[in-house]
Amino acid sequence: MSVQQTQASIKRWHEMLDTKDMSILNELLAEDVVFRSPVAFNPYPGKQVVFFILTNVIQVFENFTYHREFYTEDGLSVVLEFSANVGEKKLKGIDMIRFNENGQIVDFEVMIRPKSGLDALAVQMGQRMAAFMPKA
């Protein structure tokens, strides 16, 4: 896979955020995608749960803006720096996204600071995840 393939997928990612057309996310996620939350220790595997998480995070974040993009040498990964608000709390973070050779996301890891912004996100997403996840 080339850097061009990854850049084409990232272009689709930005298009999805600009248009709020979440069907694009469906094409971008691999079936075996894994989401690594800044809140939960264990990753969330599988397209259905990752689709749910990402579509809800987009709703929770306000004033969401990407600032910079960094690509790895092999062209399979990109790091996107962002800022957003959750209510009164401001936060900064990075999305570390790894793609397969088809340009689909196979690993999505998020890191966020400061703790006050992360805590506000955790509360909002915790409520949504509780409603989504089956009770054990």
37 three-class SS: coil
DSSP of 26-79: HHHEEEEEEEE-SS-SS-EESHHHHHHHHHHHHHH-EEEEEEEEEE-TTSSEEE
pLDDT given at position 103 = 94
Domains of the chain are 3-132 (3.10.450.50)
Contact 34, 56 (CB under 8 A): no
* Phi/psi at 22 (5° precision): -75, -10
pLDDT given at position 135 = 61
**What is the reported pTM?**
0.92
Tens of pLDDT along 54-111? 999 999 999 999 999 999 999 999 999 999 999 999 999 999 999 999 999 999 999 9
pLDDT surpassing 70 at residue 136: no
pLDDT given at position 3 = 79
Backbone CA torsion sign across 105, 11, 18, 60: positive
